[in-house]
Structure 1
């Protein structure tokens, strides 16, 4: 029920490896934050927006498709308030998914069920349908333009390949999808159109943080099979151009826009598909072990023309990275731990932050560590104990 509240579930404990204080924020049902490119933290208030199945009336494990809705947490008091009440669309749950928001959390856009995109005004509580899929395509995660007039998102032809734990269907979808599109929908619900059509599976659309005519999308699939991952899309010219032109040795992914408008990316080198499973192996290239590296993995920063302006070699790769506000420090989720990586100098200097203890079984159980807008806290998820919960740690 919208407006229902839960009292604080916060508890603190010392990390078993580093002794740092960890705040476990949630303890009821499954709870996970927005994908790290979207940032659950509120830039103005001491709050986060997150997804939970606590109101579903069902007890489901993370891989059993819980019915999620949106919630707000006051990080000072721990009080949780329900923001949406989307019903399960089918036997696979499918309440709320694929969420984005403005930094101040005033506007939240999310996918409801399989085919609707909705806008929630968190101040008024008003919800508007801004896109409805007529059939034949699957909808990717939306991104809100800086001018707050429209969103963009990826659509791919529906090739009827199920997804699931441990990257089920990841490789097969890469080969089967031949019709991918980037679509714009107006936030007032007045219409939509396809701004770009491709012959590949596309995904991870993200607007530039300060330019509503520029964004990035990717050719989605196992990183070692994708020949050019990151593309810059000019909405005025409706043209795409490559960002960091790849060679045969590059396996690139997990790109995001930094706060100051650079494109961050991760390059793991030959034989790396960009995955990790609950067996601590890759999902597609099973013969190559995680961090069995044929070249030195590195991260890079590219400008708005797609040119690399900085490269930082890494002693090993993490599954995801997120940069602090001034791009001096990364947080990464290694197989078992979160690490802080100082990138102020020519050599990356990693230090252990804490032991995350997640299984990597489902996408929602991936840690996806995310810096707060002011760089004072890091939010992450873990399914330690069998349910996904949210945790907060100071760097």
Structure 2
């Protein structure tokens, strides 16, 4: 399980270095299979201010004078279309290490060391960097997905190391959780352990919310297989506006290997990682019969999941149905027929307890695995 140090600090005041924390986790029975700095492959990159920017005739290149905090500005040639005088960008100095990209400027092909060189007869003493060359994407830092230079804030200190600014100095712990510690299959679960290890108080995530009093009239939830689903909760949310998640949420999900999709979908993934509780969101307008019905699948009943794979089921599989059809494989993945869309205006959130052995067997038998399963 991937655990970012920055996310742990949301719940515990951690005052030890990452390597010391790793050792303390080991001493308490948690095997840290790997720990690494997010920007482990990046070095020698600072904030640069482009003071002059002139086009090189008959090319797409510009020759720039870049202030990196030294006695004299550096001359650097740059082919990005968004370079301009007055802009602040990451500058890889001579001897720096960044990621090498393919011709598409997106695919990473290892790392490279920066050397002085010449472009079209102009000396170039460094490199102005894109987000990709620093290992960033749009979820990790806004603007990093642009196929050009990464634009830094106007108040960024010239000459300062970009790692703290871009949060590349964060650490990731890859922790092996044993079967007897399901309480630690979440960021908050590990945070509780860290709080105990460091003898610090743990800060509980805010769980408060305000109900508007709006309900989905006549909506029912029934469970026909209580042995496989001892508890199922559905909650209706209206006046939803689908859009992007806030930057902090997109970043945290990216650090644990999940790409941002939309605010509602990201919420379910965030809760899964934060608290260890799988959730699912249904577009309410596609739930027929004004009902959720939890039951064993009928023999040869079919469902198409969110990844557009169709499965033929049997009575050993648990399904979530509306009043007409299956809309999710319980504990594994939602159905394509009730997915959150750009047009979604009302949502039904699911939070349930499913029999883990049944979910595991269904996942293996169907060859369908997910973070939830």
TM-score by length of 1: 0.21
Q: Which has the higher contact order (CA 8 A, sep 6+)?
A: 2
Higher strand share: 1
Higher helix share: 2
TM-score by length of 2: 0.22
